[in-house]
């Protein structure tokens, strides 16, 4: 299979991995910067989540899934995106709490494990939001 065929077949996934990497980078930078400033780790995690989700919405919509939803549908996309990402925040905070507070694992290790799980769940959630049946 040549490069063009791979991009045609897996382009959306490749774009998601790139944007997901940038989203994760934003999450890490905000989280560790806030921790360095003395912010409690759960508060830092939630603020990092918010910063990365705002970035993720606009980049997933325009670059990854190339959604050109009209006004009403775009509003629905935004609401669904934040609701489903809210579920991933619960997962995110839950993993951080269990790993750091209950298991006493190092915060950076827990954050990495956490983000791998969250990225996978967010990909599934994003496909539910931005892929409209009438477009397929």
For 94-125, write each residue's pLDDT tens digit: 999 999 999 999 999 999 999 989 888 887 87
> Across residues 63-76, what is the average pLDDT?
76
Task: Compare 130 and 59 and report the one with higher pLDDT.
Answer: 59
- Give CA–CA dist 71/43, Å, rounded: 33
Greater confidence, 17 or 99? 99
pLDDT band at 71 (very low <50, low <70, confident <90, very high): low
Percent of the chain with pLDDT over 70: 93
pLDDT of 133: 46
Structural domains in the chain (count):
1
CB-CB contact of 24 with 119 (8 Å): yes
Q: Is the pLDDT of residue 51 over 50?
A: yes
Domain limits for position 42: 3-135
CA–CA dist 38, 114 (Å, integer) = 21
Backbone angles phi, psi at 40, to 5 degrees: -55, 140
């Amino acid at each position: 299979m040549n490069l063009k065929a791979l991009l045609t077949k897996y382009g959306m996934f490749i774009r998601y991995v790139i944007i997901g990497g940038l989203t994760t980078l934003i999450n890490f930078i905000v989280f560790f910067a806030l921790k360095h400033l003395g912010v409690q780790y759960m508060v830092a995690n939630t603020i990092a989540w918010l910063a990365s989700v705002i970035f993720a919405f606009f980049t997933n919509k325009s670059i990854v899934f190339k959604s050109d939803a009209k006004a009403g549908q775009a509003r629905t996309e935004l609401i669904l995106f934040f609701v489903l990402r809210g579920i991933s925040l619960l997962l995110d905070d839950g993993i951080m709490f269990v790993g750091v507070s209950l298991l006493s694992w190092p915060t950076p290790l827990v954050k990495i494990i956490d983000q791998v799980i969250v990225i996978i769940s967010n990909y599934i959630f994003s496909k539910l939001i931005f892929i409209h049946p009438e477009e397929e």
